């Protein structure tokens, strides 16, 4: 099991020094990878969007490719993962409608379009020249250079809709469900996915599972119990996220560099022998 940590750019700041120090500290603690999100456009934080979830300009976001390229140059072996890459911009279905408005893309067909684009990209990575005919994209004998030596780039899907399970089962290298706390609902979701993967003619062991843990909730014994549950359930990656909030996730109380570093230090020390 790999243990990751979030990069709390919105709290600790966007400067190169603080991000370098945080990445090096996390690597020194033994974290396997670092996670950062991707958002290009945000709405007005003072505007009422009628109850709709809306990413705003109140939170800072770095371009993850530029950020990870920089951090790769100042670290030695820690890995990097984008929490999401919005497919109309990069890759990922997305939830923030204002981004699609700015891109001139239809927000309501993003799921179907993203599924086709995943197949399109996988074809381009696998072969030097590709003919592709889809609902949204057409290509007559084109290719990319350089291609990945392995012929693939891992594609992970996040979400909980039926279509997400289906896409993961058919095309995904991993699944990132955040809605399930450690318990029966998570186990049922994992079993459902594995059944669908087998039905698609694939090996469930080839598809990773990532969940997020909250150092802002509970104590060491709680974290150990949760990690043990996830490991037994077959989870391959756990991300210790210090600022994510949901029904069962809670951010840490503080927002300083020391607060975040202290949280991931305590968390990894508590669970390191269980990974």
Listed residue (238, 245, 257) closest to 217, CA to CA: 245
87 and 1 in one domain? yes
As a 3-state breakdown, the chain gives helix, strand, coil percent values, each rounded to 5, of 40, 15, 45
201 and 123 in one domain? no
132 and 85 in one domain? no
| Strand ordering across the sheet containing 156-158 | 79-82, 33-36, 2-6, 237-240, 208-213, 174-176, 156-158
> For 150-166, b where at least 16 C-beta lie within 10 A, e where not — what string?
eeeeebbbbbeeeebbb
169 and 118 in one domain? no
80 and 61 in one domain? yes
Spacing of C-alpha 123 from chain mean position: 22
109 and 175 in one domain? no
116 and 160 in one domain? no
For 229, other C-beta atoms within 10 Å of its C-beta total 16
Inside any domain, residue 98: no
* CA atoms of 32 and 189, how far apart (whole Å): 26
Residues β-bridged to residue 4: 33, 239
Report the interhelical angle of 162-171 vs 184-199 (nearest 10°). 50
174 and 129 in one domain? no
Q: Are 223 and 270 in contact (CB under 8 A)?
A: yes
Inside any domain, residue 226: no
Inside any domain, residue 75: yes
Inside any domain, residue 227: no
Inside any domain, residue 229: no
φ and ψ of 162, to 5 deg: -55, -40
86 and 126 in one domain? no
pLDDT score, position 110: 87
75 and 36 in one domain? yes
161 and 86 in one domain? no
Q: How many separate domains does the chain show?
A: 3
Q: What is the DSSP string of 11-35?
A: HH-S-HHHHHHHHHHHHHHT--EEE
Inside any domain, residue 99: no
Inside any domain, residue 96: no
1 and 82 in one domain? yes
Across the 275 residues of the chain, what is the mean pLDDT of every consecutive 10-residue run? 96 95 98 91 85 84 93 97 79 81 87 90 92 92 88 92 94 95 98 98 98 97 98 98 96 97 98 98
Inside any domain, residue 18: yes
pLDDT score, position 88: 67
For 45, the domain range is 1-91+214-221+235-275
């Amino acid at each position: 099991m790999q243990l990751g940590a979030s990069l709390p750019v919105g709290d600790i700041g966007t400067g190169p020094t603080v991000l370098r120090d945080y990445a090096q500290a996390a690597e020194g603690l033994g974290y396997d990878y670092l996670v950062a999100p991707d958002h290009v456009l945000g709405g007005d934080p003072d505007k009422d969007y009628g109850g709709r979830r809306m990413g705003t300009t109140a939170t800072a976001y770095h371009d993850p490719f530029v950020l990870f390229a920089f951090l790769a140059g100042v670290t030695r072996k820690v890995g990097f993962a984008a929490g999401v890459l919005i497919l109309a911009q990069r890759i990922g279905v997305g939830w923030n409608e204002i981004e699609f408005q700015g891109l001139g893309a239809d927000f309501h067909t993003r799921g179907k379009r993203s599924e086709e684009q995943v197949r399109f990209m996988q074809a381009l990575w696998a072969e030097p020249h590709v003919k592709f005919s889809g609902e949204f994209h057409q290509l007559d004998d084109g290719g990319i250079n350089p291609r990945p030596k392995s012929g693939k780039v891992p594609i992970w899907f996040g979400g909980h809709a039926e279509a997400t399970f289906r896409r993961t089962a058919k095309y995904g290298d991993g699944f990132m469900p955040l809605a399930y706390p450690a318990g029966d609902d998570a186990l049922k979701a994992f079993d459902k996915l594995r059944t669908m993967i087998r039905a698609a003619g694939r090996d469930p062991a080839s598809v990773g599972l990532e969940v997020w843990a909250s150092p802002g909730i509970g104590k060491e014994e709680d974290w150990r119990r949760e990690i043990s549950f996830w490991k037994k359930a077959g989870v391959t990656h756990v991300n210790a996220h210090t600022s994510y909030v949901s029904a069962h996730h809670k951010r840490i109380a503080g927002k300083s560099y020391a607060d975040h570093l202290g949280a991931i230090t305590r968390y990894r020390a508590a669970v390191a022998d269980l990974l």
